[in-house]
Structure 1
Amino acid sequence: MRRLVLPLSAAVVLATVTPVQAAPDPGRQVLPDGDGWASVGAGTTGGAQASPENVFHVSTMAEFREAVRGDEPKIVHVEGTIDANTAADGTPLSCEDYAVDGYTLEDYLAAYDPDVWGWEDPTGPLEEAREASSAVQARQIRVNVGSNTTVVGVGEDAEITGMNLRVNNVTNVILRNLTFSDTHDCFPGWDPGDGGQGNWNSEYDHLEVSGSTHVWIDHNTFDDGDNPGSELPEYFGRKYEVHDGLLDIVRESDLVTVSYNHFDGRDKALLLGNSDGRTTDRGRLRVTYHHNHFDTLGQRAPRVRYGQVHVYNNYYTVAGDLYEYSLGVGIESHLYAENNLFDVRDGIATARIIENWGGTDIVEFGNAVMRDGRGRLEMVDLVRAHNAANPGRELGTRQTWTPQYDAKVQPVHAVRALPRRVGAGRL
């Protein structure tokens, strides 16, 4: 047999290696068709069409604030940790740096102690100093995102801490692969009439979507960082609460998809619609929550007013002393809860998963309960459990709408492994 010998030039050609294709830029990714309410119409594309000069890599508060402003298409890559409590020159800022007009917490506590002041609302120079100090902090930590923007974390450790990030009266925004941590209020106010025993009320959600449309919030982590609520002190017999919500969607916002996020350890977590009296929310607040881990939250996962809200394939860790409820059925809400898994611990009753906040109906099916993170799944009728435990506050099951943008709905047993696939660093 003759041996075929190739010319050297041919051998070189055969040995040529095809170059490895670069991984696609997640900043150019858009919301897939059929993926929740934010996919309606033209969908949600964020800054996917940004020109090269509008693609930014940022690592400081000043760079971030500048990069997200304006409505031209833009992609903002967050590298490392951006701490909102940082001056323009990089100097760390503390609560004392925001205090003005002689405000101190010690003086405030002494002045408005109910044993001294009584149970009237705080007034006078010290309350005015608290409000003025709060305004100073707000100017520092509040950042507004412009329309047609994608903000995406680079790698596994991109973090935004201490910031009140607002998607406010804009459209077409994508936020992905970020850890939102410890947005704390340095100047909570004492409200003696709140809840019968008084409460400390704080400003600043980690993320607030207000008056905005077409927003995709995906693969993020929301937590309290090194300032967990369980370690906050008590004053006047009530917890000195320095946090508000993790993610609030309010004031006529519409067409939002919230997917594959980890919401961790907060008392009041996700509010949808901020007032019973805001009737302009009717026909809006259409939001999809899917494949999220609602992890040891106290309440509001979510609490719903007015909106047509699809909650499906989420994993709930129902545990802890703070737990009150998961699904809040508020005024004129149209909540559709499908194929969610509730990992119920600490002897918490299934009847507590739903709470009636002035609503009339909730559609729920395919939901299951697992006890203490193990064992078989038990299919459960959440409305029946709620109604049996709450005579006089029963909910109906009338269906007022049918979800259409639900391409990713899975059987409930598929949700069991979800906690390993959600949150920042898991894209």
Structure 2
Amino acid sequence: LSILLSLLVPAHTTRSPDCGGILTPSGLSYRKSRPRISHAISREGRQQHFSVHGNQINSVKVAELSLSLIPDTGLRLSIDVDLGITPAPSTTKVMRLSILADIHVEMNPEGNLELVTSACKPTLEERQSTEELERSTPHESSSSDVDKQINVDKICLEVSKLLLLPNEHLMSLTAQFPITPSCHIQYLPLAAPVFSEQGITISLQTTFQVAGMAIPLPVSPVPFSMPEPASSSPSHFTLAFSEHFYTSLFFALEMAGAFNMTIPSPLTTATVAQKITQMGSLFQEDLPVMLQAVFRSSPRVVLEEGKAALKLFLTIHVGAGLPAFQSFLSVNVDMSAGLLLSVADTRMTISAAAIEDVELSLAASDVGPVPAALLDELFLPTIREEVPAQMNVVLSEGVFVPHVFSFTYTDVKVMIHKDYVLVPCNLELQARTG
């Protein structure tokens, strides 16, 4: 199967994106994940990983934690932690540990995105002590005294450890997700993200596996580039999908045989013989008429402003007899149906709406010439109803969109433009179980 698939279409000559996402400053400041990070810092502090000159740490309070964009470079992590220490009996000090760490994103050898600290600067200052409260005079430590109390390497190592969980989640971006039992989808980053004042833009290339083998996809006639992010988007995140993404999706499902259809018909050979007299010589008994549909050319998705359409190019073999199906004529069907798109959680639901345009023409016949008007009369109502219905059964489970573990999408809008679709949404952190 894999050899046949590789011969059917040319493979990508160059890696080019067909979808992606833009994390906005609003999404970067999404705060629901802060308690987890604060808890991790507090736990490490209580275990004395943030040791201060060998003194016992009694309390750890995260006063401030923020991420900010550095255009063309990466992110800056700022953490302020108040440490309660006991240098002597009945004496308590509050020390403010401030950490500035620059973070950039690399692609590791496995093709996954990875957060890496490129600079780390901790500082420590004494905020208050019980002795100062009694004397009501502030105490200032010299910079050399403070520096001696900081183990810079150990603190920066702990900052790096804070990135382990986000990096584990980033690995889930490239996981394979099922569309049907035999067809899977996978999103692969093409390069490290681009950082700008408008947000973080990541470009992805979609691959499909059929029966466990990656299939070569048709080359996009128009290279896709991620749309410029809006300067002040209220949404946390915006997904973007090219027209070629949707065409590739339907191509992969066609290659997997998901759209091969056997369509029941209300007709029998006797009722058809009333319209086509030569039928009587082929079938001696009255049998139910069946339609078997196959694609003679790959489906194509067309995106226009405000609407999406699916173009189908089918050959429908009309016959009778089960299990020994005997075809007596073949009909070429060109049809167009509207596409409805929606996103819930981490899946996009795609469904074919009513048929907007359809044309039937005779391809082959064992029962003589059949006028186009008679083809429409006999088969068009069934084709109009059954083809989109059976395709929607295949698509009913939805298609996973790019996402990382633990996050889902809420407040979703789907905006269809010419050649691409934008999906602005907000992030929702799922509660951990267990």
User: What TM bracket, shorter-length normalisation?
Assistant: under 0.3
What's the TM-score, normalizing by structure 1? Answer: 0.23
Where relative contact order (Cα < 8 A, 6+ residues apart) is larger, the structure is: 2
Decide which structure has greater strand share: 2
From the CA coordinates, give the structure whose radius of gyration is larger. Answer: 2
